[in-house]
Amino acid sequence: MNTGTTIERYVILERLGEGGMASVYLARHGILGSRHALKVLRPELANNAALRGRFLAEGRIAAQIRHPNVIDVTDVVIAPGIAGLVMEYIEGPTVDKWIDARKTPCSLEELLAIALPILDGLSEAHAYGVVHRDLKPANIVLGRDRRGAMRPVVLDFGIAKLEEDTRVQHQTHMPTKIGTRMGTPAYMSPEQIRESASVDVRTDVFACGAILYELATGHLAFAKDNEYDTMQAIVDGTFTAVQRHNPAVPAHIADAIHTALASSVHDRFPDCASLAAALVGPIKAATPARPAKPKQPAKAPQPVATRAPQTTKPTPPAKPAPPAPRRPWRGDALLNGDTVLPLRGDDARCGRSPDCDVVIDDPSVNPVHCVFAKDRGRWGVTDARSTLGTLVDGNLVVGRTLLKPGQTITVGRVDLVFREA
């Protein structure tokens, strides 16, 4: 379609891309002026009743799910020879283009910033009985939320499988033929290759494993010379260990990816939440516990000299005085719920690392996320080039931002309240 073409209430502004079944356009609502992504079925397919029904079923499936990391479908447009889905427009690169542009494996913080929201969004979809079945880097876009933090979003539930309620399957008229392979070879699960009708949420776990492998190493987990050999490698479960490509990947991340890529569904994580927990598990325990004092070896018994019996009782030893109660911190601090995080001195590094002055044990927080500093009696905060940014009352910190008592500082996804003595 050409620029300026009007379809019902929407005016075409430009073409954004094209897939196997549809083209995607940037469109403007003719009355509201809002911008949307409009996905229109290719003209040669629009008159095919089965394909048209499957395409419109994508909208009905996605419209069931309300999650910030799943694309929001807001409307449909139907005209002679035209079938389209109206979606929120998210400005940003897809993960495949983001990987190609950087040409190096991503950092642990970047990997988690992409993986954890996506796994959470998929968990929400799975709760509705929806399996995506075509997860790949090209189906994840990296947008930004209103605070400027990265917002990964899953696209394209067009070949998703409604597995829980056969009544919903009949309502959506999804013409997925039993035994038909659906998906992209390098990210397809073994069971999907054998028979797509038998898949469940674990096929999305496998695809996430393949995406995480690519993010962590810069290589495809299953990359052969042709499609047949690629699918054979997937079925056999043969791939190079993550740390062979990138030794810097932490062992627990590599183990989580390997488990997600298990060829047997019984050896794989049962759901996306379990994969997410494996990715962040060791980080949750990153702050070391205070080591116990080593036990002193027992002293050898000393010979006791024989004395004449005493006529008076010895004076009993005085009882030790009870320790003085620990006084709560009354100085400047950050409040994390009921936990008081003191701001001592004139500056304090804040992050996930146990070496920081203010330690926040959360996977969304960088090892050193931001720095609090006191100048002329006023505390301020500066972001330390963190992945998700630092915000004060919802505003992204750029440079140094002065703080007032009661303000909320968002570090990663953790909200802290500034308290002044």
Name the residues annotated as catalytic: 134
- The DSSP bridge pattern shows strands 333-336 and 339-342 to be antiparallel
Asked if 366 and 351 count as a contact pair (C-beta separation under 8 A), the reply is yes
User: In the 3-class helix/strand/coil scheme, how is 29-44 assigned residue by residue?
Assistant: ECCCCCEEEEEEECHH
Q: Which amino acid is at 397?
A: V
- The secondary element (H helix, E strand) that includes residue 127 is helix 108-127
Cα dist from 272 to 121, 200, 235, 277, 278, whole Å: 9, 12, 21, 9, 10
Burial label for 411, CB within 10 Å (0-12, 13-18, 19+), is buried
Distance CA 5, CA 245 (A): 49
CB-based contacts of 389, cutoff 8 Å, min separation 6: 147, 148, 149, 383, 396, 397
Gap between the terminal Cα atoms of the chain: 63
Q: Which amino acid is at 204?
A: D
Asked if 192 and 183 count as a contact pair (C-beta separation under 8 A), the reply is yes
Distance CA 58, CA 354 (A): 46
- The DSSP secondary-structure symbol of 277 reads H
Asked if 58 and 156 count as a contact pair (C-beta separation under 8 A), the reply is yes
Can you point out the beta strands (E) in 111-205? 130-131, 140-144, 150-154, 161-162
